[in-house]
Chain A
Amino acid sequence: MMPPDPMRRTLAALTSLPDGEELTLLLYREPFPLYALLDREGYVHATELERDGTYRIRIRLGR
């Protein structure tokens, strides 16, 4: 997907994320613009970088 589709899809998925559930993204770059939005909206996220260059980003509601 070309920018900004990954961010748009992520934001759309977050609106329907059930309480207590986690959204996992697999991206080819670290999404700093998304981090800024998540931080502002009270979501927490954790990122790992895999050997093939995939970033695994786990997002859930902060409590």
Chain B
Amino acid sequence: MEQAGASLGKPRDTKGGRATRRELFARALAAAGGLSALALTREGLAKEPAILDRPDDWAPGNALERMRRDLERALAKPMEKRKWVMVIDLEKCIGCKACTVSCVAENNLPPGVVYRPVVEEERGEFPHVRKRFIPRPCMHCDNPPCTPVCPVGATWKRPDGIVAVDYDACIGCRYCLSACPYNARTADFGEFYTEGLAEGSEAFAGPRASGYETRPSFEYGKEWRRTPGSHASPMGNARKCQFCLHRIENHLLPACVTTCLGGATYFGDFNDPESLVHELVGSSRMMRLKEELGTEPSVFYLA
């Protein structure tokens, strides 16, 4: 029988591997629409015996609490003085998709609309195989390719960095969907998950159970109600991640950030040098998707 097993070093252990990784990663993402390459190295032998008095990892506290404080400082400033950015540590992303579902739930997204998919990749050959998961929200580009193509000016870059959509103005032409190099926008075709199921019987819950689908979404600080049979916005519109603007404005971190089980997703004001995101963007592991397009995303990855 074949004897297998793999000792898989982390890329950061490779001397001078960073540039190569970033390059490979960007290239792979460009080619495969979100997949990265990965350098494999042999791990060295075991380290020295433990130092039993090392500091407690958790002593500095909860990263979410720190980001909440960062958020409060940012909200105390005028809107145009803030610059919202997101940082995603791919070493910490475990591919659980809690963010995807949290976003769907927060924004009450219908079938076919997902703001934050997580792309999975497997690299290497048995037994030297690794996995990587890449959450892909809207990049909130500083040079967004999606906004200039809108024929009605329904989408624009806000001074605080968020690329917003005005559902009332959107005509559903979907030019922006094609223009986005990250496939970050999807169309709301007006579908429902449970419409028509188990109807007309006292023995079943049927439509009594549809409350979650017809409750409003609070995107952009308004109430958007989708109800079967109606065509009201946001049905028919282009939809995408808005960094949970409605939550931010209400002193809550974006839904994906608060629920990230691996603690991989960070959010805050890049204009605040004291903020956690400012610190992380300075990491040697920092990279962005499709840098070569010059879109200047506000979503940074730590590879």
Do the two chains bind?
no
Give me the interface of A with B, judged by CB distance under 8 Å. none
Give me the interface of B with A, judged by CB distance under 8 Å. none
